Chain A
Amino acid sequence: MSQDARVEAFVTAFEALRAEVEKVIVGHREIITHVLTSMFAGGHVLLEGVPGLGKTLLIKTLAEGLELSFSRIQFTPDLMPADIIGTNIIVEDADGRKHFQFQQGPIFAHILLSDEINRATPKTQSALLEGMQEGAVTVGGASRPLPAPFFVLATQNPIEMEGTYPLPEAQLDRFLFKLRVRYPALDELNAIIDRTTRSRHVTVSRVMSGSTVLSLRELIREVPIATHVRDLASTIVMATHPSWAGSPEPTRRFVRYGASPRGAQALVLGAKVRALAEGRYNVSVEDIKALAAPALRHRVILNFEGEAEGVDTDTLIGQIVEAAEAVTASGKEVFLR
């Protein structure tokens, strides 16, 4: 299979899966694209939005479009880690002998929907850490691998903060992207009403298998990236750190902690998927700039002044990207240097 055919297959699969999800989900094209980008990059997604915007429906539809197992966990304050991972239970065999047997939890699925993840205690939230990072969980001293591909999609509500446990930074860093689901536009709302209040039932076809996803993930890693593009990504991440010498003024003023190296990885991997999805064989500066906000918005921790002044993280990241471009001098005329 030629490289052109491989790339063409990726573009086709990407578009087909997006089309299946868009059969059910009205609007939110960018969100759908970013969710698919994250899935092909091998990362997990945190969806943030008020209730009723279709976050859960989007994930369920995505699971229906893939030939993958799907499980859902509704996070509540009394949810325990064993409820997610599973536990050893005593079973009796035919001879009447009793022994421990591991009962898998809902985490043992290809696609895991962690609904309202911030309603569970940090202890339970942390039960996902190992699975998200290592693709395996440890129960009773034994490491048990999770099925591949393993893709966690978590949702959280930004307004009902009472009785919630905000995700710790370590947990947030495990998510490749944090996506903000916004209200639909008027025409999109009309389409939602038309689509959901009629008797017509939409059937989502399965367009991709797990092995296809894994092979396409391999292709992603082959996408070349130019030095100046990679430098821009790393400069953006470094510019989120207030202690860095080249960080811009907004960072120094409003940011307490910047993005980790995982942020740079997320930026470059996401950019590679975006390039391939657009039929390109290389990563461009525009890919990095387009994915800076979803890859970094949950990794940039504002300080007190930033919180008090209500600084929008996306706006801040936009300023950081501009400053990083100036630092890498990509915008300067060549012949003057």
Chain B
Amino acid sequence: MAHPQAIEVLVRRVAREVRVRRAEHWGLRGAFWGGLAAVVVLSFKAGLGTTALVVAPALVALGMVAGATYGLTKRVDPHDIARLADRAFDLADRVATALEWADHPDRTPLVDALVADTVERVSALESRQIVRRAIPVEGRWLGVPLLAGLVLALAPAIRLPMGALVDFTPSTETEPHEERTTTDPMEERSRPLSATPLKRPSFEERDFAQRSGTGSGATAGDLSAIFKDTALSSQRPDFNSFLKKGDERLKLLEQVDRLPDLQSDFTSSQYKMVFKKSKSLLSGLSPDISPQKLRELLDEMERLGRKGGNWSGDASEGMEALEGGQTDRALEAMQRALDKMRAMEESQRSGKGLRGGRESERGARGRDRARGGGEGSNGPEDQDFGEGEGFLPGKGRSTMPKGDPTARLRASPFDVGVEGESRRGRKEGYDTNLTGRAGQMPSRLMYLGVIGQYRKMMEDAITREQVPRDYHDQVRNYFQALDER
């Protein structure tokens, strides 16, 4: 078996190199901290005199020597050194394995071959530095304390501030006492404190005094005694209710949706808003009027008409015309609806259409309106009736036991009646037909009205729901096909 002496020589050489590098590393660190100490010493040069100039470089040298000594004496593990050599000389862990297995009790015949191979390779190595020099952070900043120390050594001594702190020790000399001739307003505050401190009443004491209620004299802490001769004396300050009210107010503030919207303009009604919109719509046109905006406006008018106006039919007609591409007709219908809306607004402003007041007055007003047939009579919902009169079942002059039917049906051209007859056969069925104007209309109006909504819902669903990406185009194509029909 080849003796692993060459391996041990290599390890010793690398270990020596490691120690040198360690000494450099730790020496630089020691020099840095020694330099810092030297700067401190040189800062007191004025006090220390020439001693500082001797001590400062000694500190630097001492730090460096101490660090280097520490680095040199630090333990070096031969196996770590072997691994370092393996990496440095690209020996594929041969040195570490051979060093470990050379004296291993379970060594196999192959280990001898390994050691021989390693010795041969190690012997052929060229001697070179393999351990990199590692400069510590302190080493990079070593120049700073050295330079500062040099500057301090060459510069004149820094004079330390000589001012003494304020002497708070009592003076032995008696100060001349000035007699005060005038009354100083501050004198009140410098009044000596009372020997018996003022006792502040607590709530417990007060409650106890009030609950007892039998004491004729005011006990200590009974604040109500102050108001004994007033109405307040019988009232307990109820902090709990105060806090409770405060809490309620805070809760009310948290309910944002219940708070009034102070930013909205209450002077303008919905009708005025519609007027404004129509004005802005019609002002900048005319051939390029936006059908979308016109449709929105008509839709809003139709909605308002359904709430309590008689222009919903005109608005619906306008929408129908717009769907058919007849913008002129739609504009005319909108104008008619606007006229009706304006008339109603004026009638309300004149007070004719206002409700409220006493029942008797409301009844008289209703009779007057019935006689005059004014513009405010816009249908059954806007009509006022006297006491006991009206369409409600069992009331008024109606001969019908359940009251007269409302005139809602066919009040609008879009109201639809259904007529039909039962069909005989195996199963009971009915043949039905739509009557009225809606029955004559093609179904595309409703279809076109809803297909846009459905398409929008489809887009929302695609983006919101987990529709597989591959199906997106398929879904869109389906709705596109519906639109084309």
Q: Do the two chains bind?
A: yes
Contact of A282 with B131 at beta-carbon distance under 8 Å, contacts A7-B110, A334-B84 already known: no
Whether the pair A335, B92 counts as a contact (CB closer than 8 A) is no
- B57-107 residues with Cβ-Cβ distance < 8 A to A are 76-77, 79-81, 83-84, 92-94, 96-98, 100-101, 104, 107
A337 touches B80 (CB 8 A): yes
A3 within 8 A of B: yes
Tell me if A282 and B109 are in contact (CB < 8 A).
no
B25: chain A residues at CB < 8 Å are 335-336
Interface contact A335-B114, CB-CB below 8 Å: no
With A282-B94, A286-B92, A333-B132 in contact, do A3 and B84 touch (Cβ < 8 Å)? no
* A284 in the interface (beta carbon within 8 A): yes
Q: List residues of chain A with CB within 8 A of the CB of B104.
A: 224
Which of A87-95, A124-132, A140-148, A226-234 contacts the other chain?
A: A226-234
C-alpha spacing A222/B109, complex, angstroms: 8
Asked if residues A335 and B93 are in contact (CB atoms below 8 Å), the reply is no
Verify if B113 is at the interface (C-beta below 8 Å from A).
yes
Cα A238 to Cα B71 in complex, Å, equals 35
Cβ distance A327 to chain B, nearest Cβ, rounded Å: 15
A283 to B21, CA, bound (A): 30
Q: Which residues of A contact B109 (CB under 8 A)?
A: 3, 222
Is the pair A228, B132 in contact by a Cβ cutoff of 8 Å?
Answer: no
B93 and A283 contacting across the interface, CB-CB below 8 Å:
yes
Interface residues on B, range: 20 to 34
User: Any chain A CB within 8 A of the CB of B112?
Assistant: yes
- Cβ of A224: which chain B residues have Cβ within 8 Å of it? 97, 100-101, 104, 107-108, 110-111, 114
Shortest CB-to-CB span from A82 to chain B, Å, is 43
| Interface contact B100-A335, CB-CB below 8 Å | no
A225 to B84, CA, bound (A): 17
B471 to chain A, nearest CB (A): 21
By the criterion CB–CB under 8 Å, are A282 and B18 in contact? no
B80 touches A223 (CB 8 A): no
B143 to chain A, nearest CB (A): 23
Number of residues of chain A lying within 8 A (CB) of chain B: 27
Query: Hey, which chain B residues are within 8 Å of A282, CB to CB?
Result: 92-94, 97-98, 101, 114
Kindly list chain A residues whose C-beta atoms are within 8 Å of the C-beta of B108.
222, 224
Q: Is A196 an interface residue (CB 8 A)?
A: no
Say how far B216's CB is from chain A's closest CB, in angstroms.
79
Chain B residues closer than 8 Å to A334, beta-carbon distance: 18, 76-77, 80-81, 83-84, 131
Interface bits A1-41 vs B (CB < 8 Å: 1, else 0): 01110110000000000000000000000000000000000
Q: How far is the CA of A226 from the CA of B100 in the complex (A)?
A: 7
Interfacial residues of chain B within 5-23, with CB under 8 A of chain A in the complex: 18-19, 21-22
Taken together as a complex, chains A and B put the C-alpha atoms of A82 and B183 apart, in Å, by: 123
* B82: min CB distance to chain A, Å: 9
CB-CB contacts below 8 Å: A185-230 with B = 219, 222-229
* Closest CB in chain B relative to A270 CB, distance in Å: 16
A228 CB contact (under 8 Å) in B96, B117, B134: B96
**Contact at A336–B134, with CB atoms within 8 Å?**
yes
Verify if A60 is at the interface (C-beta below 8 Å from B).
no
Is A252 in the interface zone, CB < 8 Å from B?
Answer: no
Contact in complex: B110, A228 (CB < 8 Å): no
Complex contact B114–A281 (CB within 8 A): yes
Interface contact B96-A226, CB-CB below 8 Å:
yes
Query: Which residues of B have CB within 8 Å of A6?
Result: 110
Cβ-defined contact, B93 with A284, below 8 A: yes
- Give the distance in Å from the alpha carbon of A222 to the alpha carbon of B104 in the complex: 13
- Cβ of A285 < 8 Å from any Cβ of B? yes
Residues of B within 8 Å of A330, CB to CB, are: 83
A228 and B87 CA atoms in complex are apart in Å by 13
Could you tell me if B117 and A281 are in contact, using CB atoms closer than 8 angstroms? yes
> Chain B residue with minimal CB distance to A332?
B80
Q: Which residues of A contact B93 (CB under 8 A)?
A: 226, 228-229, 282-285
Q: How far is the CB of B453 from chain A (nearest CB, A)?
A: 37
Q: How far is the CA of A286 from the CA of B109 in the complex (A)?
A: 23
Q: Are B131 and A335 in contact (CB under 8 A)?
A: yes
CB-CB under 8 A from A180, the residues of chain B are: none
Q: Which residue of A is nearest B104, CB measured?
A: A224
Shortest CB distance B102–A (Å): 10
Q: CA separation between A286 and B80, bound complex, in Å?
A: 17
Report how far A283 CA is from B92 CA in the complex, Å: 8
Which chain A residues border B94 with CB–CB below 8 Å? 280-282, 284
Bound Cα distance A7, B111 (Å)? 12
Residues on the A chain within 8 Å of B131, using CB: 333-335
Q: Mask for A248-290, Cβ within 8 A of B = 1, else 0?
A: 0000000000000000000000000000000011111110000
Q: Closest B residue to A329 by CB, please name it.
A: B80
Residues of chain B contacted by A225 (CB below 8 angstroms): 97
Interface centre among A3, A334, A335 (most CB of B within 10 A): A335
Per-residue contact bits, chain A 295-326, to B (CB 8 Å; 1 contact, 0 not)? 00000000000000000000000000000000
Cα–Cα distance between A6 and B114 once the two chains are bound (Å)? 13
* Contact between B110 and A335, CB atoms less than 8 A apart: no
With A and B bound together, what is the CA distance between A6 and B83 in angstroms? 27
Which chain B residues border A229 with CB–CB below 8 Å?
93, 97
Does B134 contact A227, Cβ atoms closer than 8 Å?
Answer: no
Closest to A285 in B: B93
Set B22, B97, B110, B113: member contacting A226, Cβ < 8 A: B97
Contacts of B132 in A (CB 8 A): 333
24 contacts between A and B (CB under 8 A): A3-B109, A4-B113, A6-B110, A7-B110, A223-B110, A224-B100, A224-B104, A224-B110, A226-B100, A228-B79, A228-B93, A229-B97, A280-B92, A281-B110, A281-B114, A281-B117, A283-B93, A283-B97, A284-B93, A333-B132, A333-B134, A334-B76, A335-B19, A335-B76
Question: Which A residues have a C-beta under 8 Å from some C-beta of B?
Answer: 2-4, 6-7, 219, 222-229, 280-286, 330, 333-337
Identify 20 new A-B residue pairs, CB closer than 8 A, beyond the known A7-B110, A224-B107, A282-B101.
A2-B113, A3-B109, A3-B112, A219-B110, A222-B108, A222-B110, A224-B97, A224-B111, A227-B79, A228-B83, A229-B97, A281-B113, A281-B117, A282-B93, A282-B94, A283-B93, A284-B94, A335-B19, A335-B76, A336-B134
The 5 lowest CB-CB distance pairs between A and B, nearest first, are A281-B114, A3-B113, A282-B97, A222-B108, A284-B92
